[in-house]
Each structure stands twice: as structure tokens, then as C-alpha cells.
Structure 1
């Protein structure tokens, strides 16, 4: 897709009205629609929210993110930024304000979460990207973004199983993952 086509898709996406109950993201010029999340997914997001100190951090669910120089407007399950860095209004949150994004893998989002969004968040210089994977029962924390566009990636990775305490040094906490649920009967994948 050419840069002109991607900019055109971005303008189209701004006015696009999805069907009720459908979540929509723009990922590298493609509109991706998803059904509402599973209960396991929502309970994990709630558990993470409860562990991040509200006085210090803004914890925003399903917030549209603006990635500079990308035809992408991802909508992470959770965005964390310093409370004093939060804009007063606006649909798009600039990626440079973000400290951590969290995606909880669904049965259909594995490739998007592990490959596409990983590259997009790295291109947006988001310092830390946490994937919580109830398919495989583990968390993967990516840090130290490098590169531009499709070639962007994270240079550091920490993978821990559910039940382990995940150090989120950027937030000054250790994330207790012992209460995270898993999807029963879902075929395992090969990521990360």
C-alpha cells in the first residue's frame, strides 16, 4: 500500500462507524474489526488495573493511540502513562506520552498482538509493551524499542509464566499474575 493510500485510509477511518458491539483498529492502513472480548480477557485487564497505583499512573482502557508516521491507530486493552502527562481531551493519545501498553491475547488476535502491534508500538517508541497470553498461560514484556516503520522492534524481552511475579520496573511494581485465567481447549501457538 502506498503512503497516499495509507493517509486516505486514515481519513476514512476517522469517519468510519462500526456496527454496535464491534471494536475497530487501524493497523498499518488496514481496518481490523473484532468482537467484544471474552470474560477471561476482561478479568485479566481488571486484575492488572487493580495493581497499578492510580495516584501515580493514568490507566486507560481501550484508548485510541496515535503512532507518529504510521497509518495506525491501535486500541490497546490498557494504556498506562504518568498521571500528570495525561491530556485533558482528545480521541487520540500520542504514543510518546505512554509508559506501557498492555494487550491481552484473544483466540483470534495472536498474530496481530505478537507481530503487527509489537512492530507498531516499537515504531511509536512506546517504552514497554506487555502481552498477557491466556492461550499459553504466560506474559511477555518487550522493552527498548528501536527502528522505524515495519522494521521497528523491541530489543529486550522477558517471558514469565502465569503465577510468577512480573517486574514492571517502569511502573515501580511487580505484577502478580497468579490470578490470571486461561482459555480452556484452545490450540497452542508458537509465539513469542
Structure 2
């Protein structure tokens, strides 16, 4: 699938959670993926990253919203839904 068609990438952390939190984050931002949703089992939190931007090697997400498991997270358009995380505990 062409990356310009991807609206959101969602991942659940694996044993290599540091890779999910850092390396993949920068890779998706450089690719222009608008939203990266990370369900972090180790931190027991959900992070929504948005608004990729920057220049050259400094491209990252400019917006970060983190909620602990048990709290809800509102996803922006075009999804416009509330993600309930109570069952993630």
C-alpha cells in the first residue's frame, strides 16, 4: 500500500518496545503517516502521535497525547471516535 494512502498506523508494543516508541515513530513521521497509535503494554498507556513535520533528519510528530489504560482517547477526523481503553488493563 502506498504510504500516502495510510491515515493511521496502530501497533501494540512487543518485547522490543523501545523500537516501537522511538525508531518506528520517526520512520512513520518521515513517511508522512498522519497518525501513529501506540498501545504500550509495558507503560500501560495509549499514545496518539499526530502532525508529522520538521525538516531533513529532524522529522517527528509535533503532537503527542498519552492516556493511561482505563481512560478514553478521542481520535480525530476522519475517524472521529472515542477509543475506550478500560479493557486493555
Same fold (TM over 0.5): yes
| Structure (1/2) with the larger strand percentage | 2
Aligned mates of 1:112, 1:150 — CA distance in 2:
18
**TM-score, normalised with respect to structure 1:** 0.44
Aligned mates of 1:104, 1:172 — CA distance in 2:
21
Match of 1:174 in 2: 82
Q: CA RMSD in A?
A: 1.3
- Residue 148 of structure 1 deviates from its aligned partner by 5.1
The 5 Å alignment of 1:75-86 reads none
Aligned mates of 2:18, 2:57 — CA distance in 1:
15
Structure having greater relative contact order (Cα 8 Å, sep ≥ 6) = 2
- Residue 111 of structure 1 deviates from its aligned partner by 1.7
The 5 Å alignment of 1:116-155 reads 116-147=23-54, 150-155=57-62
**TM-score, normalised with respect to structure 2:** 0.90
Larger Rg: 1
- Residue 147 of structure 1 deviates from its aligned partner by 3.0
Q: 5+ residue gaps in structure 1?
A: 1-92, 182-192
Instruction: Determine helix, strand or coil for the equivalent of 2:24.
Output: helix
User: What is the number of equivalent residue pairs in this alignment?
Assistant: 88
Residues 173 and 132 of structure 1, relative CA distance in 2, 3 Å threshold: same
